[in-house]
Amino acid sequence: MARHLITSAIPYINGIKHLGNLIGSQLPADLYARYLRQRGHEVLFLCATDEHGTPAELAAAKAGKPVADYCAEMHIVQADIARGFRLSFDHFGRSSSPQNHALTQHFAGRLADQDLIREVSEKQVYSNADGRFLPDRYIEGTCPNCGYDKARGDQCENCTKQLDPTDLIEPRSAISGSTDLEVRETKHLYLKQSGMRGQLNDWIDSKADWPILTTSIARKWLNDGDGLRDRGITRDLDWGIPVRKGTEDWPGMEGKVFYVWFDAPIEYIACAGEWAQANDLTDSDWQRWWRTDMGADDVRYTQFMGKDNVPFHTLSFPATILGSGEPWKLVDYIKSFNYLNYDGGQFSTSQGRGVFMDQALDILPADYWRWWLLSHAPESSDSEFTWENFQSATNKDLADVLGNFVSRVTKFCRSKFDETVPESGTFGPEETTLIETLTTRIRVYEAHMEAMEVRKSAAELRAIWVAGNEYLQTVAPWSTFKTDPHRAAAQIRLALNLIRVYAVLSAPFIPDAAAAMLAGMQTDDDSWPDDVPAALEALKPGHAFTVPEVLFAKITDEQLGEWQARFSGTRD
């Protein structure tokens, strides 16, 4: 048994996230965490809401609420939605927690002690119309690198180039749209990460197993002539973590807060402290996951995120950890994803385009969405959600393949042998062939899951479902029963046991359906099929079962048309 620390990129507090956000980090992280738990590993799966910065302030102002109250309310909303999608976080924390305040200030103090922070008097953009300094991400303009006309002042999300607001062509306030901007002088703290280029390069070089998407983005930023620049880690804002040097005041930094991209990754660590406190555990209980001097040497740490978050997690956050000079755990593997687009365009929280997580759950249960998103995960390239594809995949994979198998097997057995596993003779050549096929495919499925190859795992799981259907069609127990009831009983006994195996294998993808299959088989035996022949004998003759309700209803053309019209690209 190994120990696995898993984090997914923490979502901004400013509203409910869309399906692209879900598949970009949280959902594949949950898939991996569920699988590892099934295989007997010790897992700590952490996530949180990212609550600081201008996005929170503006969203609160729009809602007419104090920012602290708004964040508290939206944390509850996002936590409820996460539960709705069956995301199995061990803790869903908050970056505004006391733990993150203390730890962020601690890291800043350590970095200062290591001479990795410098004070800079600089000129920043001030919006006269808004009456405030504008944080980088709330200045928009045209990217000088690729020409994208909605680039932000910190990064172009189109080409991922790191920017400063003054780099933008025709800059404007993202708050009011005003171009009445001027440059004023202010003082800020900068992390001297440029001096850590060699250390970061050696660290990235050691990660030969990382996905190409992750390493290509990291190296692009690292090797770009101005990619690894010193980064400002403070802002002129009211809401955030006050700038302190550990527990001491920081002269000249009064009234300033830490930049959200400095404190948000630190929340991964602080979240473990929140988890410990919520479960009446000690500091050593969470530190054994995060400090190598407390036992974290044997922890495998995996992060999940969209490609736009890769630079901060491969450069700035590691620079913070390495620069502290303390024995904190560094990430071992970063699983990054491309974008999921929506029906010919992009999902966009700011523009309200696409299906959002709460809306999705209003339409259909979580398993429908989990299956489609994971089986179409944007791993090697961007992928696209279309309603036609969603309908087709749902109806074919979930209803026709898996659901139909469960329904046919249980209903046939009930009609011919009652609701118990029938007595029967030995298996024949067809059963031997199926067992060999399943053994091979389950081992391949395991390999894909362990490698975090999400789409390949889904494809292999579907192939395992198909193998059962093909067996059923070949042996046709409904026909065999007419001439050889004992042989038909053997066939249906294997098929009933296969339902239990399907439930176990499918649980990381579709946990509710898996639970329904196990409940129908009246068993809590969710042991992994390491020994496939033995697994297909787990439910003994005489074991009672019930016919489950329909696992998956087909999506009709009428529903499809209604949803296409309802979600035409904007959110009310």
User: What are the binding residues for Zn(2+)?
Assistant: 143, 146, 156, 159
* CATH 3.40.50.620 segments of the chain: 3-104+261-364+379-383
Q: At what angle do helices 98-113 and 260-278 cross, to 10 degrees?
A: 130
* pLDDT tens-digit map of 534-552: 999 999 999 999 999 999 9
Q: Does 225 score more than 90 pLDDT? A: no
Q: What is the pLDDT confidence band of residue 347, given thresholds at 50, 70 and 90? A: confident
- pLDDT tier at 137, thresholds 50, 70, 90: confident
Q: Using alpha carbons, list the distances in angstroms from residue 341 to 33, 157, 328, 384, 458.
A: 25, 14, 36, 4, 20
Q: Is the pLDDT of residue 570 over 60?
A: no
> What are the residue ranges of CATH 1.10.730.10 in the chain?
386-535
Which residues are annotated binding-site positions?
A: 143, 146, 156, 159, 349
DSSP H helical ranges for 162-227: 197-205, 212-223
Entry pTM: 0.92
> Has domain 386-535 been given CATH number 3.60.130.10?
no
**Taking a C-beta distance cutoff of 8 angstroms, is the pair 314, 293 a contact?**
no
Question: In the chain, which residues fall in CATH 2.170.220.10?
Answer: 116-249
Annotated binding site for ATP: 349
Measure the CA–CA gap between 415 and 56, rounded to whole angstroms: 59
Helices (H), 39-86: 54-63, 67-84
- Please say whether the structural domain 116-249 has been given the CATH code 2.170.220.10: yes
Q: Which helix (H) or strand (E) holds 345?
A: strand 345-346
Distance between CA atoms of residues 277 and 126, nearest Å: 41
Check if the beta carbon of residue 155 is closer than 8 Å to that of residue 163: yes
Give the pLDDT of residue 222. 87
User: From CA 316, how far away is CA 314, in angstroms rounded?
Assistant: 7
* Domain 3-104+261-364+379-383: which CATH number of 3.40.190.10, 3.40.50.620, 3.40.140.10, 3.20.20.20: 3.40.50.620
pLDDT confidence of residue 417: 94
For 539-571, letters b (16+ CB in 10 Å) and e give beeebebeebeebbbebeeeeeeebeeebeeeb
Report how far Cα 25 is from the mean position of its chain's Cα atoms: 2
The mean predicted confidence, pLDDT, of the chain is: 94
Structure confidence at residue 22 as a pLDDT band (50, 70, 90):
very high
- What's the alpha-carbon Rg for the chain, to the nearest Å? 27
Q: Which pLDDT tens digit goes with each residue over 193-209? A: 999 999 999 999 999 99
| Residue among 444, 446, 335, 332 at smallest CA distance from 39 | 446
Return left, alpha or beta for 569; rule: phi > 0 is left, psi -120 to 50 is alpha, else beta: left
* pLDDT at residue 61 is higher than 90: no
Q: Where are the alpha helices (DSSP H) in 224-356?
A: 260-278, 283-290, 310-311, 317-324
Distance between CA atoms of residues 401 and 534, nearest Å: 24
Task: Give the model's pLDDT for residue 350.
Answer: 60
